Amino acid sequence: MIPILCGDDALNFAPMRDEENESVIEERVKEIIVSVRRDKDAALTKWATKLNDKVTKNWLLDAESMDAACKRLPQESKDVIDIAAKRIKEYAIAVMSIVKPVTVDNGTFQTGMDFKPVSRVACYVPSGRYPLPSTALMTAMTARVSGVKEICILTPSVCDEIIYAAKVCGVSEIYQLGGAQAASAVAFGTESVKRADMLVGPGNAYLTEAKRQLQGQIGIDMLAGPSEIAIIADSGANPEWLALDLLSQAEHDPGARAYLFSDSKEIAEATAKEILKSLDKLDLPEFVRQSIKYNAIVVLPSLANCVDKVNELAPEHLQLQVKDPENLKPGLLNYGALFMGYYASVPHGDYMAGPNHTLPTGGAARYSGALNPLVFLRAQSWMKSSDKACHLGKETAQFARLEGLTAHAAAALCRVGD
């Protein structure tokens, strides 16, 4: 049964952290990274064997296998992937339309900024409990729209749907690799895996920890781990819909977290009952019954209190199941993606609406946001000066002397005429 918190328990609500397990994961990932950096392909084979992943002589999927997968995939599956790809592409193009080079003319000198994509990106596509061709689209298509030339996909267990999604995005490089060892392989390069400039995409706790430890060696999009959902619901919300929304994210992973915040005790109790009904009715993994105990329904005095709690939580997904979502939106500060109104649900964003489902988790929405084409762009500033910019040299020398950097001052002054 999902806990219902009221009164002081609700006001003091904070998600539980499994710090002991986090420490174990941190040490194991550190071991894998050191191993792959040192032993390369031999380490990949070692860890794939140890973790019961598929072991191949060549981690790269061959072109013949990709072509065969695309041919045998039913047309109905191709059609729905094509629709999703089209909307994701259109959304990414719309975001890219705001990016323009900048030039500032100061008369005697000019400054500016250009935006250039990174050269090579690795997209991680989870495929453990569920293969996620949607993630292949969300990551690879977004990178493609930003202008990235080389894109590869990492996935522990390849399937026809992921292969077709890769093809739709113009990707022909798929490595059958997963977990921290896959992240390490693209961070350092091995005999069979080409090094990448960036690693993007969600994954389990091990992949997320690997991204955290490897950041700096390789660029990352964000820390995107097991799924999270927070829902703010008023008395007009539908308890059955709320239950299904919570379970839709809980079914991802035992580490997924689902929270409902409401100012209505009646809605809270009705939703808890609907969760039990849905658990009996739907074909869900057994772990959902166990993990739901670590989630919560929180009853607070007002919707304003709900907003405050959600801002503290900084969830990956946030649904506003309220009559007037626009009224609450200005007060919401920290979330990965927002779904507004009774008829908007996270699964819409997971698949077909267009905005990216690769989102920050674990409170990372306080400082990062959704994957989008801008993530792949590097802002590169430039400056051009003329022999008439004497004041710039003198001003620069003055500031350099403030900091005691005499060579800086000299380098600026040597360009100043008599």
Note whether 342 and 242 are within 8 A (CB): no
Residue closest to 337 by CA, chosen among 224, 261, 242, 415:
224
Instruction: Supply 149's token pair.
Output: 């030339």
For residue 418, pLDDT over 70 is answered with no
Span of 2-6, 94-98, 101-105, 374-378 with lowest mean pLDDT? 2-6
Integer Cα distance of 208 and 101 in angstroms: 33
Q: How many CA atoms lie within 13 A of 104 on its CB side?
A: 7
Report whether pLDDT(20) > 70: no
User: Does the pLDDT at position 410 exceed 80?
Assistant: yes
- What's the pLDDT at 54? 82
Confidence of residue 385 (pLDDT cuts 50, 70, 90): very high
Q: What amino acid positions are annotated as catalytic residues?
A: 316-317
| pLDDT for residue 55 is more than 90 | no
Average pLDDT of the chain to the nearest whole number: 94
pLDDT average, residue stretch 220-246: 95
Ranges of H-type helices in 41-191? 41-50, 63-72, 75-96, 133-136, 142-146, 160-168, 179-188
pTM attached to this predicted model: 0.93
Burial 317-352 (b: 16+ CB within 10 A, else e): bbbbbbeebeebeeeeebbbbbbbebebbbeebbbe
Confidence of residue 240 (pLDDT cuts 50, 70, 90): very high
CB distance 121 to 142 below 8 Å: no
pLDDT of residue 417: 74
Output the pLDDT for position 19. Answer: 64
The mean pLDDT of 351-377, rounded to a whole number, is: 96
In the chain, pLDDT over 90 holds for what percent of residues? 85
Asked if residue 28 has pLDDT above 80, the reply is yes
Mean pLDDT to the nearest integer, 322-351:
97
Q: In angstroms, rounded to a whole number, what is the distance separating the alpha carbons of residues 413 and 214? A: 42
